[in-house]
Structure 1
Amino acid sequence: MKKFTGFIMSLLLILMVGCSSNNFEIKLSTPKSFTSGQSTPIQVKILDPDGKPVKGAKVSTKLDMQGMSHGDISINMQEKGNGVYVGQANIEMEGDYIATIKVDDNGEKWLGEKRFSIVSNNSQ
């Protein structure tokens, strides 16, 4: 039942993003690897329809490991300038992740997903 609910939620998210009237361009940057016990930087760059950096937006990001139900990793994103927003994540396991990104720029909203993979630096 949880898989079905997750599937329905994913479809709704795709529909919401597909029906959105804005044209934000969102670029997610993550490192290729992480070190357990240390925070990992997550960066989002937001551009408007003219390709100009979006300044002063409210941005939040949640990471969810694909196929696992360990809960979300919420990230507080801080504006660093030039449309770049950065936060720190405490990633505990290597694997494939889905970043759910919410942007609110003066009432214009964007909600979408970006996928990435990350491996551990720790020697086992």
Structure 2
Amino acid sequence: MNKFTSLLISFILILITGCSANNFEIKLSTPKSFTPDQATPIQMKILDREGNPVEGAKVSADLDMQGMSHGDISMKMKETRKGVYVGQAEFEMEGDYTATIKIDHKGEKWLGEKRFSIVYKKVQ
């Protein structure tokens, strides 16, 4: 392999690594259980690379039950305090879910996933 080819491959790898860098840290908080026909709060804490709260972002999430085709639960998240965003979801079934999270902050867009499980709340 000549020097030009090695340099070109190195450049492409650096470019790919830089483009896929995650500029946000997402901490997803979900309750362990839900009550049918009631809204369940879903909370995300969003931090930047330096660990500072991300304020003023547009945040939304689509919740999809893994292995089922019931359709997504879509939520627009509202900032309740610095870097903390909350949305409401109405779950129909307990199980494993994937939250596809979209963030738009000062023109920087990010799309990622977080997984969680939730069960029916047992009525006493």
TM-score, length of structure 2 as denominator length: 0.81
SS at match of 2:112: strand
Structure 1 stretches of at least 4 aligned residues deviating more than 2 Å after TM superposition: 18-22
Percent identical residues:
75
Amino acid at match of 1:37: D
Q: 1:113 corresponds to which residue?
A: 113
Tell me the amino acid that sits aligned with residue 76 of structure 1: K
Relative distance call for 1:83 and 1:34 in structure 2 (3 A) is: same
Pair 1:23-2:23 in alignment: yes
1:80-119 equivalence runs, <5 A: 80-119=80-119
Structure 1 residue runs without a partner (length 5+) = 1-17
Larger radius of gyration: 2
Count of aligned pairs between the two proteins: 107
Letter in 2 for 1:109: K
| Structure 1 residues 60 and 43: alpha-carbon distance in aligned structure 2, compared to 1, 3 A threshold | same
Question: What are the superposed Cα offsets for residues 69-119 of structure 1, whole Å, 9 maximum, x if unpaired?
Answer: 000000121011120000000111000000000001011111000000000
In 2, Cα distance between the equivalents of 1:41 and 1:53? 20
Root mean square deviation of aligned Cα: 1.7
Match of 1:44 in 2: 44
Are the counterparts in 2 of residues 36 and 122 from structure 1 also a CA contact under 8 Å?
Answer: no
Unaligned runs of 5+ in 2: 1-17
CA distance in 1, matches of 2:115, 2:96: 7
Residue number in structure 2 paired with 1:77: 77
Q: TM-score, normalised by structure 1?
A: 0.81
2:97 is aligned with what amino acid?
Y
For residue 19 of structure 1, report the CA deviation from its aligned partner: 4.2
